[in-house]
Amino acid sequence: MKILTASQMQRIDRLTTDRCGVPSLTLMENAGAEVVKFLAERFRPLEESRIAIFCGRGNNGGDGLVVARLLTDMGLTPQVLLFADPAQLRGDAAANYERFAAIALPEVVKDAPGWCAVKPSLSSTTLIIDALLGTGLSKPLEGFLLEVVRDLNTSFPGARRVAVDLPSGLAADSGELIGECIKADATVTFTAPKYAHVFPPACECVGEWKVKEIGTPPEVLENDSELLLSLMCREDVTWLAAPRKMDSHKGTYGHVLGIAGSRGKTGAAALAAKSALRAGVGLVTIASPVSALPVIAAFGMEFMTEPLLETAEGTISLQALMSGVLTRLIAGKSCLAVGPGLGRNPETAEVVRKTVNDCSLPLVLDADGLNAFAGRMGEMHVSDRVRVLTPHPGEMARLTGLKTAEIQKRRVETAREFAVRYGVILVLKGARTLIASPDGRVRVNPTGNPGMATGGSGDCLTGLIAGLLAQQTERPAAEVVAAAVYLHGLAGDLAVARFGEPSMIAGDLIEAIPEAYRTLAAP
C-alpha cells in the first residue's frame, strides 16, 4: 500500500481526472459516500446519533458537505457548520455547497463570537465529523479555529470524532505534531494513507483509520515510479505460511552460521539461533569464542556450536580468521548472521570487517557487527552481494556520523539515502521500522509495539532475517527481509497480548513465532 505526501496525492487526483476521465467532482462525491458508508457500519443505528459536521472552505469541507447531503437524503438531520463565507468557496467545494444549499442551509461560522454563539446548540452531539482542514495544512492552527479544535477535543464528553481524510491540525507530510489537532477516534482517508496516518506521534491522533477507494485505478499508483514509500500489509507476507513440500528435508531450508557471542554476552547468540530455527531454517551453527561456547550451547539443543580462538577479553580473535577456521565454517552455509553479543574489541571488529568484505553469502549485520563499521562505512565492499544492516537509531548515528535526533527527524530520508549510497538493505529499527532497498524503495512495517523495547529483541530479529534469507533464495532479498520484520513485529504483538508490555521479554517473542505463522496461514 503506497504512502503519499499531500502533493503526490494531488498529482494522483489530477492524473485520475486528466488521464482516466474521472471528474474531480465525482472523486469528491465518492469520498463523501465512503465516509457515510463507514459511519453507517460503525455507528449502528446511525439515526440514533446526534451528528454535527464541521466543514472548512477547501476540498475537505467539500467532502463534508457531500456527507451532509447524503445523510440528509437518508432522512437524518445533521447539524452542519460551515467555517467560511460561502462566497469564498471555489471549485468542487462551491459546487457541493450549492447542492447542499438546495435542500438545507448550513450554519455559517466566521469568527470566535460566532463559534461561541453556536457552541451551546451542540451540547447533545454524539458524533462529530471533522471536515475542517484535511491534508492542506502546513503550519500550526491559530486564531479561533484553534479554539474550535480545543473545544471539539474537550467540550463534548462522550462524543465520537471521525475525521475526513486527516484530523484538522495535522500536517499530512510528517509524523511530527506541528501544533494542536483534533484527537480523532477514527479517520477515513482516500486512495492511500499519508505520512501522518502511519508515523508516530501524529498517527496517535488519527485513531483507527481506513483507506477507501474513490475511483483512482490501482495501476495509477502502482505504475508511478516516484512513489517509493509503502506500508506493508498482511497480504504482502502470507507467502511465509505456504505449506512445505512433502519430500523436503532439513537441507532444503538452508543453514545459518551465526558469528556471535562473547564472554558475558552469550544470550544474544542463543536468541539469534533460536529465532532462526523458529523462522524455519533447516540448520543453525553458532561460532563463538571458546570460553563462551559452553554457556551458549546450554541454551539450546537444536543448534550446533563451533569454538573460535579468542582474545584476552573473551571475544573472537583475528587468529580465528587467519587460521582458516572461520573460512572453513562459512563454506557450505546459506546465510551469515554477524554481530549479536560480539563485543567491541578492535581485533574482533577487524574480523567482522574482513568477513563482511570477503564473504559472498547473504549476510545480516547487527549490534557490534554494525559498530565495527562505525565511521568506516566507506570500507564496506558490497558489490552485488546481499548485505542487510539492522541498526537502531543510536547505531545508525554511529554509522552515519549524524546525531540520533537528526536521524529520528528524517527517518525515511536517512534510511533511503543510506541504502542507495552503500547498496545495502537497511532495517532502521524503532516505532514503524523501515526497510530501505538500494533502489530507493522504503517499506514501512506496521506491526510491533513498545513491549518489544527490551534486551534481546534485536537479536531475535537478526535470527529471523537470516533464517528466512537462508530459505527463500528465489525471492528478492528486500522482500524477504521485509517479511521477516513483519513476522517479528507480529510475534511481538501476539506476545504482548499474553504478557503485557512491561513484562514481555525477548524469549516470549520467540515462543510467539509459531502463532504468528498460524495467524498468517489463517483465511
The C-alpha cell 579468542 sits at 310
Across residues 218-231, what is the average pLDDT?
92
Distance CA 184, CA 165 (A): 11
Q: Quick one: pLDDT at residue 137?
A: 87
Q: Quickly state the pLDDT bin for 223 (edges 50, 70, 90).
A: confident
Mean per-residue pLDDT, 324-341: 97
Mean pLDDT of the chain: 96
Please state, in angstroms and rounded to a whole number, the distance separating the CA atoms of residues 78 and 67. 10
State the DSSP H helix or E strand holding residue 338, giving kind and residue range, or none if neither.
strand 335-338
pLDDT at 435 over 90: yes
Q: For residue 511, what are the contacts with CB-CB under 8 A and spacing of at least 6? A: 495
pLDDT tier for residue 459 given thresholds of 50, 70 and 90: very high
In Å, what is the CA distance from 474 to each residue of 254, 320, 423, 471, 477?
A: 13, 32, 20, 9, 9
The reported pLDDT for the residue numbered 38 is 98
Q: Are 57 and 88 in contact (CB under 8 A)?
A: yes
- 386-395 pLDDT, tens digit each: 999 999 999 9
Provide the pLDDT for residue 134. 85
Q: What CATH code would you report for 254-521?
A: 3.40.1190.20
pLDDT in tens, 66-80: 999 999 999 999 999
Beta strand 442-444 with 434-436: parallel, antiparallel or unpaired?
A: antiparallel
The answer to whether residue 192 scores a pLDDT higher than 90 is yes
Closest CA to 388 of 260, 481, 476: 481
Q: What is the pLDDT of residue 225?
A: 87
- Domain extent listing, the chain: 6-227, 254-521
C-alpha cell at 296: 551458549
Please determine, looking at this structure, whether the domain spanning 6-227 carries the CATH number 3.40.50.850.
no
Does the pLDDT of residue 81 top 90, yes or no?
A: yes
- Min mean pLDDT across 130-144, 258-272, 348-362, 410-424 is at 130-144
Predicted local distance difference test score (pLDDT) of residue 264: 95
